[in-house]
Structure 1
């Protein structure tokens, strides 16, 4: 089993960059291929879930998950530094029972396997940082956007490119887009002060699309069983306030962490995240490292051209 892992991670690398580096975030080499290899070996020696994954020939998924988690941990640390967030180490220790394990991964066994590749204290610190980020940001921005829903990615990418090149025609282009699956949403607004309930507020605040820089034009897959793709143009963002009486401390901490994770999207976009190609391709919207097979449908994020005066 360990030999198979070695063959998996030591495969040939393609593309630019140091082939020994597993992950770069900004100008930081976060990890080496050898370090990812060691985490895999340690998991296979100690973790039953990882051993089960190996029997199902899913070691590549674990390695991608490790690199993906390394990227998110680095981005969260960068966000904390930028915002002056410091965590009490005693609190981090005390949070390990609640911010690691099944209760923190919401019943996702695979995430539990990936978490087990890291020291529990590092995972607790990471999630505490996300919770702090989410608590500070939830319901603080209102956004205006156009959105179209299309059947295939080729049409979605073509539309996103047209909108980015001529953002003043965003509405017109989306309304005329071919192979749509429902009416586009033109000039839509999400205002947190008008949220019907805390769950709607959380859903909006945890959307990666609403946390991108103004002018972003995205083509990405829709979540859920319905399939399809969306083209999303973030046209404006204004400071806002959550509904009267909303108390972020009353929210499930793991839901706040989801909001905090969405805030990493623009940071990742600004810094640049580059996994070694042997592990996969970075998706700038989902913050995932996707397989070679899925790389053809990775999300596209463009910046709309600024109109000439």
Structure 2
């Protein structure tokens, strides 16, 4: 099981839209059924907090505010014509907006925790770049206030990458399963203790890797994958192929962000990374914080996936996350 066989992150779950500027990669669409009108009309209570659409720790975004952001997209006939022609629904747009709002709250909390300050001058400079308008359009951001928020989030994510990429290291065991049922069974055994985990990995033979040690700076294009964000002492499982049904299971035995810099001449420096890669890695670095604070999403939008850091369509099962006994 090679690291490049793991699934790419899908944090935006963004609707397919016009080609994005060269500095940003087109996001992956998670297609869903239904319409946002049905999901958003008659808004009642949010997840354990009246009027909330998403909640992260003690912070939240109201249903009213999220609806307003969705309406900004739905009211753009030119944008909607393009989106619907590509097979998107209003529900896809609502989930994308909800996902981005969760990520905004996480990035804001991460910046406060790590002392990352993004002043207005940096935001102004980014907004003045010629390709920023196209990037914001592709991210379905049309309001000036929302644009500044999106740019600030991007710069915070880049700051997190600059701070941690060279110090992020993990040790993991990796194996596979051919169905959700098998994945759940193996995940429980992997989490039960070292002896049970060793038995599972031994039985899987060449399909498993044990004690795989990775430094993010040495594999930067993979540093945005969920295994780099999963805290030590967890077993996670997620579907990596639908046909045939393939699940990837990862047991994280060590994760460190405070070690000495890599110091390897083959390592990739932050200066060599593109903006999109830095943004992806920075968002991935909020995964432990999301678990610590707790993320709740109104069921009218779907279900939060703790590995992909995005809102899944209603009825779609999220990834599996289990606490593991390491000794």
Shift of 1:187: 1.6
- Check whether the contact 2:57–2:294 (CA below 8 A) recurs between aligned residues: yes
Counterpart of 1:172 in structure 2 is: 199
Aligned residues: 286
SS of corresponding position for 1:222 = strand
TM-score, with length taken from structure 2: 0.78
Residue-by-residue CA offset, 1:196-232 (whole Å, 9 max, x unaligned): xxxxx21232222122211111011227987611110
Unaligned segments of structure 1, at least 5 residues: 196-200
- Check whether the contact 1:283–1:299 (CA below 8 A) recurs between aligned residues: yes
Shift of 1:11: 5.5
Counterpart of 2:324 in structure 1 is: 304
- Check whether the contact 1:190–1:204 (CA below 8 A) recurs between aligned residues: no
- Check whether the contact 2:43–2:63 (CA below 8 A) recurs between aligned residues: no
Counterpart of 1:49 in structure 2 is: 79
- Check whether the contact 2:170–2:252 (CA below 8 A) recurs between aligned residues: yes
CA gap of 1:9–1:51, structure 2 versus 1, over 3 A, is farther
Residue-by-residue CA offset, 1:121-178 (whole Å, 9 max, x unaligned): 111100000011111111313221111111112211221122212244312123336x
Counterpart of 2:141 in structure 1 is: 115
2:273 matches 1:251: yes
- Check whether the contact 2:176–2:249 (CA below 8 A) recurs between aligned residues: yes
2:106 matches 1:75: yes
Normalized per residue, the structure richer in helix is 1
- Check whether the contact 1:65–1:289 (CA below 8 A) recurs between aligned residues: yes
SS of corresponding position for 2:166 = coil
CA gap of 1:11–1:305, structure 2 versus 1, over 3 A, is farther
SS of corresponding position for 1:131 = helix
SS of corresponding position for 1:114 = coil
SS of corresponding position for 1:115 = coil
2:83 matches 1:40: no
TM-score, with length taken from structure 1: 0.82
Shift of 1:42: 2.2
Shift of 1:183: 1.2
Residue-by-residue CA offset, 1:44-91 (whole Å, 9 max, x unaligned): 223622354467560011111111000001100100000011112111
Shift of 1:18: 3.4
Counterpart of 1:190 in structure 2 is: 214
SS of corresponding position for 2:116 = coil
CA gap of 1:132–1:16, structure 2 versus 1, over 3 A, is closer
